[in-house]
Amino acid sequence: MSKPAYLATLDQILIWVSLLIGGAMLAFMTLFGTVNVLVMRKLLNAPIRGAEDLMILSLVILVAIAIPFGGRVGAHIEIEILESRMSKSFAQWSLFAVRVVCGALMLLMAWELIIAGQNAPKFGETTQQLLISYEPFYYLLAVCVAIYALVCASDALQLARTGKIEQIPLGEAL
């Protein structure tokens, strides 16, 4: 049975966004960190002001993008210690219930992140050196967490229809 069209589209979007933006963030962090530490700090004794701020914000972007992608490839941790003692149908429906509850909690988290983003300027939430506002990063996290809620809903739908979750196999051809 082939993937439903919505799932294939979601997978392609997650793969390309993760590759392009995640790859760009990793490349930036590697190059910038190397230049800052080896050249600017060690060789010239003049580290880049605000380098830590930029590295932290790059890491926030990388983690935000990894949340929904990790859900689709099965990278999130699941504890299956009791699954061997459950009947197959009970294990399937408990997994369905967990996905539904997880999706609902992720939507709540996305909502709270939006509220936090709206309040960030009011409370002066900025990076330490460059004073970059956290507001857009709260919004990015909210969007990525909401996409993960869609991934959870998709998993629940797959479980209800077929009894299993078809994930993105790592190394699959684009």
Which pLDDT score, from 0 to 100, does residue 79 have?
72
Q: Can you tell me which residue has the tokens 């479980």?
A: 159
> Quick check: 35 and 114 in contact, CB under 8 A?
no
Which pLDDT score, from 0 to 100, does residue 15 have?
94
Each residue's pLDDT tens digit, 98-120: 999 999 999 999 999 999 999 99
Residue 44 C-beta-side C-alpha neighbours within 13 Å:
8
> Quick check: 25 and 62 in contact, CB under 8 A?
yes
Domain boundaries, the chain: 5-162
How far is it, in rounded angstroms, from Cα 147 to Cα 66? 11
pTM of the model: 0.90
